[in-house]
Structure formats: C-alpha cells, structure tokens
Amino acid sequence: MKLVSAKPFTFEGGKRAVLLLHGFTGNTIDVRELGRYLNERGYTCHGPLYEGHGDTPEMLVTTRAEQWWEYVVEGYRFLQKQGHEEIAVVGLSLGGVFALKTAYTFPVKALVSMCAPVKPKSAEDLGRHVSLFTQRYKKILGISAEQIEEEWTSLRGQSIQMVESVQAVIEEVGDQIQEITCPALVVQSGKDHPVNLESADLLYNRISSEQKSLIWYENSPHLVTRGPEKEKLHEDVYRFLEELDWEDA
C-alpha cells in the first residue's frame, strides 16, 4: 500500500478566512475536507503542515511542539499578508490546543476547538499515541511486527523530549483559557479515547467568551472530522461561522 503524501493547502475564496490546524502525529488530510466544504461556501481556507508531520516517525520525533507552533503563526501571518483582516481559527486535537493559543495570542474572528486535550496528559498516554502512529505507519510499508517493535524500541527514547514539549504546551494553554473572549465553538466526540472527555466541559466553562457553545458528536471517534458524523460537523461549523458579524456581511 502506498502512503498518501500530505501537504499544506490553501483554498482561495472570499474575504472571510479560516486557519485550519491538524493534530499531533496527524496531518492536513484530517482537516482538508472541512476546509474544502467551507471554501465551497465562500471562505478562504489555509491549512499549514507542521514540521515532522506527514513524514516518517523518525523525522517526527526530532521535532518539538514549539516548532509546530511557529507553523501556526506562519499560517496566520500568511492569511494576513493575503489581505484577510478577519480570520477564524479551527483546530483538531493538538490543533485545537493551538487554536486556543492563537485565540489569546492574536486577534481572531472566532475559534472552533475540536477534541482538544486541555487536561494534561501523562507521558505514558502520549507515548502510546506515538507508538500507535509508528505501528500504523510501518504496517502500511509492509514491515513485520517484530521489526516494528525493534524500531520502536529505538525511537521510544528519542521521542521523550517531543512528548514533554507536547505536555508543556497543553499545560500552558490550559492556564490561559480564561483569556479567550472571541466567539467560540467547542466540539467533542463521544468515542474520543485519546482525550479525557472532561476536557470539553472544562474548556467550555473556562472560556470567557460571551458567545460560546458546546456540541457533542456521540458516535464519532477522536478524528471527528473523518468520522460518521462529519457531514453534521461541517454544517455546524459553517452555521457557527455564518452567525458571526463579518465586516463583509
């Protein structure tokens, strides 16, 4: 089986812009379909690909969360340079954490956080996440289970600093959530095993936004953007964005 190459994307539309952020060990494919849906309805959508993502596990473990954040900042600046004065930010998983950070760091029109792990996760949990990614990646290449285990043993030690950097950004953002005042939509799937489901209520309650809502997708997995309720998600995100007081309205 051939691996699908992930790339950054930009779908040009109108003045209203949306920055779409993928998650940890994921890539732009996870938010591309949502971006295309919004673009077909007039929005300019841009999705950056973080350092080490969409690449091999060996490349991923050499990178850190602070490097990935720089790609988020570059994505925001890119939309500004294209002349977009109003930018909404939409993020999945760790991308949701980055979306939260964007919302209290820069002026944003609105925020959509999807399945964001705002409760600190243990190093063991994050390590398992990297291990599963490594196994899936290597299996696609046709590598045997024994060889995968051998390679992961080597990678495990190299991944420690990366995992610690992810923990640090989750904790940092968790401490700043109350600074967010823009309109916010919190999305949470009901079958989200990687994320503590208490994160959604915690996030919703801590955000200081006057205009905020929480929507659950009970039958969806962690990657809610690719789950069985993705069409409803597309509609809900679009409806949320349409209700904002955009200057071009």
Distances in whole angstroms, Cα of residue 86 to Cα of each of 40, 41, 83, 147 = 18, 16, 9, 49
pLDDT digits (tens, 9 = 90+) for 222-248: 999 999 999 999 999 999 999 999 998
C-alpha R_g of the chain: 17
Q: Residue 105 has what pLDDT?
A: 98
Query: Is 189 assigned a catalytic role?
Result: no
Which of 53, 189, 192, 234 is labelled catalytic?
Answer: 192
Contact at 8 Å (CB) between 125 and 102?
A: no
CA–CA separation, 199 and 114 (whole Å): 11
pLDDT for residue 237: 99
Residue 1 pLDDT more than 60?
Answer: no
* Residue 193 appears among annotated catalytic residues: no
Burial (CB < 10 A; 0-12, 13-18, 19+), residue 247, is exposed
Q: Which of 55, 93, 189, 220 is catalytic?
A: 93
pLDDT band at 140 (very low <50, low <70, confident <90, very high): confident
pLDDT digits 0-9 by tens, 5-60: 789 999 999 999 999 999 999 999 999 999 999 999 999 999 999 999 998 899 99
Q: Which of 88, 121, 125, 117 is nearest to 200 (CA)?
A: 117
pLDDT score of 4: 59
The pTM assigned to this predicted structure is 0.94
Q: No. of H helices and E strands in the chain?
A: 9, 7
How confident is the model over 159-215, as pLDDT tens digits? 899 999 999 999 999 999 999 999 999 999 998 776 777 889 999 999 999 999 999
Amino acid 174: pLDDT: 94
For residue 246, give the amino acid letter: W
Provide CB contacts within 8 A for 140, sequence distance 6+. 1, 3
Name the nearest CA neighbour of 15 among 77, 78, 79. 79
State how far the Cα of 145 lies from the Cα of 135, in Å rounded to an integer: 8
Task: Tell me the domains of the chain and their CATH numbers.
Answer: 9-242 (3.40.50.1820)
Note whether 25 and 133 are within 8 A (CB).
yes
Share of the chain above pLDDT 70, in %: 97
Q: Is the pLDDT of residue 66 over 80?
A: yes
What is the token pair recorded at 198?
């208490």
**CA-to-CA dists, residue 53 to 11, 26, 137, angstroms:** 20, 7, 12
Catalytic residue among 22, 53, 222, 234: 222
Indicate the Cα dihedral angle 70, 234, 53, 179, nearest 10°: 30
**Among this protein's residues, is 30 annotated catalytic?**
no
